[in-house]
Structure 1
């Protein structure tokens, strides 16, 4: 089982590292499945910078996974229906020749036993390595889910790329 964790400090840093790594790997010809955060999304002024869309790999399809709850709301902005849609899109777009499964974040849905947990498990069962972002808030649930077998990666794109190439047994992808 090959599973690498990215857990960087700073708002959006883990998303940036995961997205940049995935983009570099795709540019080098790697076959990925999963989701990455859309980084160039313009945030409306009343969004509190919490609106989020994800890109389904290997396609260019994007899905907005947050919902507008109003300025006074304190509830979770994740849209459970959109998460289900994203999970289904990932499942339908995953190919048999996938070399790496990427998930921008093991979040609250996954910590509660939903979301992309089955997709992660399916990838690992097929011997496809997994790269996943994990926050301190969900780390304990993630460690329980993976039985502590994941490797925490350095928070530098070059090091993450090196791990991914090695995990995919594609050390010849030096362009990535």
Structure 2
């Protein structure tokens, strides 16, 4: 646990257990009902296997996977679609939302791409960030954050409590901003 002088605005929930997307949906619904302004995305898996992300600021949805053909084993993630989503999310941070929600810190983010820049920019702006982290990306997440992120259980109330506290803290000016690039620098 960190002391009160080190104000953390970054939290991770594990992405190995089922139910992460449903949990994020519930948390977003509750926080919106409480009047918080949210940015980022929720992830939705379509019946045909396509993965879509829904933009919390605009309500728009877009696919982020590509069809590779039968028998393909490569990554289905469409890097161009994800880059476009990241650019849109960066623009929404200018409105100073109360919280940024990122449904995955995965391979793209571990390699320095995907939504990683969005997380960095939110931290620079002292906007709290809630991220679901893939287990196989955990070492890259730990390197990226320098161990400064809170670790939350996959528990609705624990996540809601952290979000509410982080949003209240970000409204004060005594936060330690995250460094650009890697937080460990």
- Per the TM superposition, whether the score is higher than 0.5 is yes
Whole-angstrom CA distance in 2 between matches of 1:27 and 1:114: 32
Who is 1:43 aligned against? Answer: 47
Q: State how far apart, in whole Å, the 1-side matches of 2:30 and 2:43 are.
A: 15
How far apart are 1:92 and its partner, in Å? 2.1
Aligned residues: 162
Paired residues of 1:101 and 1:131 also in contact (CA < 8 A): yes
Task: Write the mapping of 1:136-147 to structure 2, written as runs, cut at 5 A.
Answer: 136-147=135-146
In the alignment, what sits opposite 1:16?
Answer: 22
The whole-number CA distance in structure 2 between the counterparts of 1:9 and 1:106 is 12
Tell me how far apart the structure 1 counterparts of residues 140 and 84 of structure 2 sit (CA, whole Å): 23
Q: Is the 8 Å Cα contact of residues 16 and 134 (structure 2) preserved in structure 1?
A: no
The answer for unaligned runs of 5 or more in structure 1 is: 171-176
Structure 1 counterpart of 2:34, from 7, 13, 28? 28
Q: Is the 8 A contact 1:57 1:90 kept in 2?
A: no
Q: How does 1:1-176 map to 2 (within 5 A)?
A: 1-11=8-18, 13-38=19-44, 42-44=46-48, 47=49, 51-169=50-168
Unaligned runs of 5+ in 2: 1-7, 170-185
Asked whether the equivalents of residues 38 and 97 of structure 2 are also in contact (C-alpha less than 8 Å), the reply is yes
- Residue by residue over 1:19-60, the C-alpha shift from the partner in whole angstroms, topping out at 9 and shown as x without a partner, is 22122211221111111113xx5412xx3xxx2100112111
> Could you list the per-position Cα deviations for residues 2-26 of structure 1 after superposition, in whole angstroms to 9, with x for gaps in the alignment?
1111105434x22222222122211
Q: Deviations over 1:117-151 (max 9, x none)?
A: 11111111111111000011101001101101111
TM-score (norm 2): 0.82
Deviation, structure 1 residue 89? 1.5
Q: Deviations over 1:142-171 (max 9, x none)?
A: 11011011111121111100110011018x
What is the RMSD computed on CA atoms of the aligned residues?
A: 1.6
TM-score, normalised by the number of residues in structure 1: 0.86
